[in-house]
Amino acid sequence: MTTGMFLGQLKDSVVDLLAEGRHAEARELALRAHGGYPKQRALTEAWVAETLCRTGDDDTAIAVLGKALDEGLWWWEEILSINPPLRPLQGRADFAEIVRRSEQRRDRTLQDVPPVVYEPEGPPRGVLVPLHARTDRHRGFARRWSAACDAGFLVVVPQSRELTTSDGDVGWIDEDLARSQVAQLCASVADGLPVVLAGYSQGARFALEWTMSDAVPEATGFVALCPPEDRMPVVSDPPRRPRGYVFTGEHDDDRPAAERFSAELARHGFDAGLEVMAETGHTYPKDFAERLLRALAHVLPH
């Protein structure tokens, strides 16, 4: 059943309902999306299951995921197994079987897609390399970061070579492969300019980790949008302290982890901003372009 909304709009509406404690309405609205977005079926069904878990209906969540698998859909195992809203399903044998079947079905064919590039009007003062999440569409993701051109940045957006859903979404499964790919890209595009690694969700974790660890030597700063709790880097006392900026949503399940991480950055002497985005979950805010420009002004001042 369709809702007349884009999937992103529907998700925002459900986040608002959950924040207001209107769980029954959130559940009903999510179930109306069930089967309603044929080009995003895998993502939609996983999100419906997440919402059902948030409203305490774990058995129906299992049924939704199982039916989707039976109809040919699949997800990379971490989309199911490392997913805060689906935590109530952990430890259930039927959920473990769904994860196993899904991973067994995953398409392991490697893709080769060139980066998307946006150029500023004049000579660039820096290079922004945004890294997508574990379920993203390359060009749609890239467009969100193109506003950095207004701040004089050359924007170069790589795509993972790996598929993470039957919808054709991409994500970074093999982390060694991902790190090598991004390091080579940054080395090839820097041309003496400072490089800012950025990212959303899984990509935010990599931007933080690879900038702080010097895994990408050209990276001089970071912008992290909705970094996840899972496998966040440990803040220590590195020989250099890159400037950075962290965004997290008011209603993001991963907000506590992002706030703890930012506090650790401050404790270790990093100059890193933190913004908690009001009325926002684990997603982009409507005014992301404006926020991105503010973050870049902090990370790489004129």
Q: Give the amino acid at 268.
A: H
Longest dimension (CA), the chain: 58
List, by residue range, all CATH 3.40.50.1820 domains of the chain: 116-299
Q: Each residue of 38-76: pLDDT tens digit?
A: 889 999 999 999 999 999 999 999 999 999 999 999 999
**What is the C-alpha to C-alpha distance for residues 294 and 299, in angstroms, rounded to an integer?**
9
Q: Are 134 and 79 in contact (CB under 8 A)?
A: yes
Q: Which residues of the chain have pLDDT under 70?
A: 1-4
Would you put residue 115 in left (φ > 0), alpha (ψ -120 to 50) or beta?
beta
Per-residue tokens: 150: 């207004």
User: What is the homologous superfamily of the domain 116-299 according to CATH?
Assistant: Alpha/Beta hydrolase fold, catalytic domain (3.40.50.1820)
What is this structure's pTM? 0.92
pLDDT at 182: 98
Q: Which of 286, 250, 281 is nearest to 15 (CA)?
A: 281
Q: Which of 14, 10, 15, 18 is nearest to 40 (CA)?
A: 10
pLDDT at 3: 55
Q: Are 133 and 207 in contact (CB under 8 A)?
A: no
**CA distances to 87, 165, 170, 231 from 173, in Å:** 21, 12, 9, 14
pLDDT at 7: 83
DSSP per-residue codes, 217-269:
TTEEEEEEES--STTPPPP---S---EEEEEEETT-TTHHHHHHHHHHHHHTT
The CATH number of domain 7-105, selected from 1.20.5, 2.130.10, 1.20.58, 1.25.40: 1.25.40
